[in-house]
A = this chain, B = another copy of it.
Amino acid sequence: MWMSELAARSGLPVPTIKYYLREGLLHPGEAVGATRARYDDSHVRRLRLVRALTEIASLRLDDVRQVVAAIEDDDVSWHEAVGSAHTRITPVATGTADDAQDVRVDALLARHGWELDETSSHRAALAAALGSLDQLGHPVSEDTLDVYAGAAGQVAAHDVGAIAQGDRSEAVETAVVGTLLLEPVLLTLRRIAQENVSRRSRR
């Protein structure tokens, strides 16, 4: 397909696509003469991924570039490529935590047999969320953390199992989009469940 069709199918304007080509976020098409090139489905998929990473995951172009590099590098395993996107997603919670919260997070990870990459921002995010709750006078118990971690583990096992196993670009897109877009679904279901548990215990 020509550039105009690529624009129509990806929903992106031609200048944006040309910018992604210059920045190396999109691989070149097959040259046809000096100024024209043909594109195929792999370009549509890549633009879909770049859109998901920038528009849904709000990643900076620098981070998108590194995710794309991991996908293209055959020395990087499929799971590492997916992980390179996962670890770059903006953390849910921000703030600063004291050492006590870090210790609690490490203990929680140990109880559930979990480890985290050095580059993962999620350890600090969790410690910060616990710190905020402490400061607001609503400390979270270890019991609560364990119930939440258990539920999160079930959801995550399903999430990772549902990632498309084939094409790397598609797998990364599914993983990132699934992680982010299913968050409101999980939170809304929790509220619906709370209403129902509460209703049943009404006296």
Contact = CB atoms under 8 A, between A and B. Distances in A.
B194 A132 contact: no
A197 B160 contact: yes
A144 B155 CA distance: 9
Given A115-B196, A151-B154, A151-B186, A181 B132 contact: yes
Contacts of A154: 147, 150-151
Interface residues of A, number: 79
A117 interface: yes
A138 to B, nearest CB: 5
Interface stretch (A19-27, A28-36, A57-65, A122-130): A122-130
Interface in A178-195: 178-179, 181-195
A103 interface: no
B89 A191 contact: yes
Residue among A86, A120, A186 with most chain B CB within 10 A? A186
B186 A79 contact: no
A143 B182 CA distance: 13
Contact of A83 (B117, B185, B199): B199
Q: Which residue of A160, A187, A201, A203 has the most chain B CB atoms within 10 A of its CB atom? A: A187
7 contacts: A92-B188, A115-B196, A116-B192, A126-B192, A148-B158, A155-B193, A160-B201
Given A114-B195, A151-B155, A152-B192, 14 more contacts: A79-B198, A89-B191, A91-B191, A116-B195, A129-B181, A141-B162, A148-B155, A148-B182, A152-B190, A152-B193, A156-B194, A179-B190, A183-B187, A183-B190
